[in-house]
Amino acid sequence: MDDRLTEDTMDAEEGVADTDFAAPVPLLDPRTGQVRGSSAAARQRRVAAVVAAGRLAHAGWRALTPRERSRRLDRLAGLIEEHAERYVAAERAGTGKPFHEAAGEVENAADLFRFYAWAARTQSSPAAGGLVAGHESWVRWEPLGVAAVVVPWNYPLMMAAWRCAPAVAAGNAVVVKPAETTPDSLLLLAEHAREALGDGVVQTLPGDRDTGRLLVAADVDLIAFTGSAVAGAEVAARAGTRRVSLELGGNSPVVVLPDAPEDTWKELAEATTYNAGQSCAVPARVITLRENHASVVAHLTGAMREREAGRHFGPLNNADQAARYDRIVARSAAKVSAGGQLAPAEGEEGGYWRAARVLSELPDDDPAVVEEVFGPLLTVQAAESVDAAVALANGVPQALAASVWTRDIAAGLDLAARLNAGEAWLNCHLVQTAELPHGGRGSSGHGTDLSTLALYEYQRPKTITARVRLTPRFG
């Protein structure tokens, strides 16, 4: 992922003038490569004002009962559904996603807010009661305060929902900073959040990388960041003692055994090209046994060639990402490279389109293997045994997601358990729902998105113990 706070965005704070806004950020349409408008770039005074408004809103928001917060979150979900067409148009403007992808993600975002509307009313605590003689104890879960949420350009609305919905359900106020290329849908979300939740509970702070850096340095109590490992380390360093939740990308291994189901190739091709491969959990590194390597390459090549950029999936998001993708492919030592077709619509030939591609017969340390490619590309490696396949799968620093493909369910479940990943699938990939947690290990970060477990990212426990057996003052 590339809209991230990078080293140069985290430079000395003295270099940013104490103003409200910098020069507007030009917005490009990734389908055409042409300028489509501009967006404000918030600076120090604006960032401070937005955070202060969040601080003010938090006092009233946390005082609401879980029931009332739940009702308001449900209303926000309803507004997203009522205005789905506007959200789809906003998502497509900044990402170039096909209609069906954008529509599905808007639906998922509404579902997440509705899920956390219910979760706001759930309670879970460690042991409580008479744990010390003559005393009663219990645990309160309290919100942290104002959460800074920094999200990337690959799923603008959905990543914001992953972070904002549990944070707000837990009683926090949120300031969300979208990627500089994709502010559209989050500006709309802020509008509807104001209507459903009240002023200042969820605010959108559009801008560039300096805006993100200023928000991280502001008077916030928690930073939820989705981006690169390098940028995540910088965020964590600047956070000091404040809570940090990091989702830092992936490089998903896909272990395909000789008895893989017949639809494996179609399923993997569709998952790999979803969102043009710009997903942290996308299939990336296919690992076979030596005996089925040739057939897997042939089947995957055929399936990927059926996925046309412009017809089945969208473009890469921006010029920097397209250039990075091209560099990785050019540096690869793969002896076999098979690509699909481009089919952009009339007038969109200048967009950041990249064809689906399969690379094989490449070294284990190939750039396309060890780096997160973030595009519609699969590498295929051969292992001499299942144990060697597991070693290859676990041989990169990222550890976010993985999948196993076999008709032997018992063997598949055993392999899934051996893979170093926060989420593993068997005979499927990218299958997610609000009820199931998602999170990384290693350089993929730490923290939990989705499920009721995500509420704990945005809360802290307070133990209260009361002495209930008082000694009489007079006999």
User: Which residues belong to the active site?
Assistant: 247, 280
Cα distances from 33 to residues 36, 197, 202, 340, 346, in angstroms, run 9, 37, 31, 21, 13
Partners of 138 in the beta sheet? Answer: 464
φ/ψ of residue 257, rounded to 5: -90, 165
Q: Is 143 exposed, middle or buried (0-12, 13-18, 19+ CB in 10 A)?
A: buried
Which residues 6+ apart lie within 8 Å of 14 measured at CB?
none
Pairing of strands 34-42, 135-143: unpaired
Partners of 202 in the beta sheet? Answer: 174
Token digits of residue 209: 């990388």
Q: What is the rounded distance in angstroms from the CA atom of residue 389 to the CA atom of residue 334?
A: 19
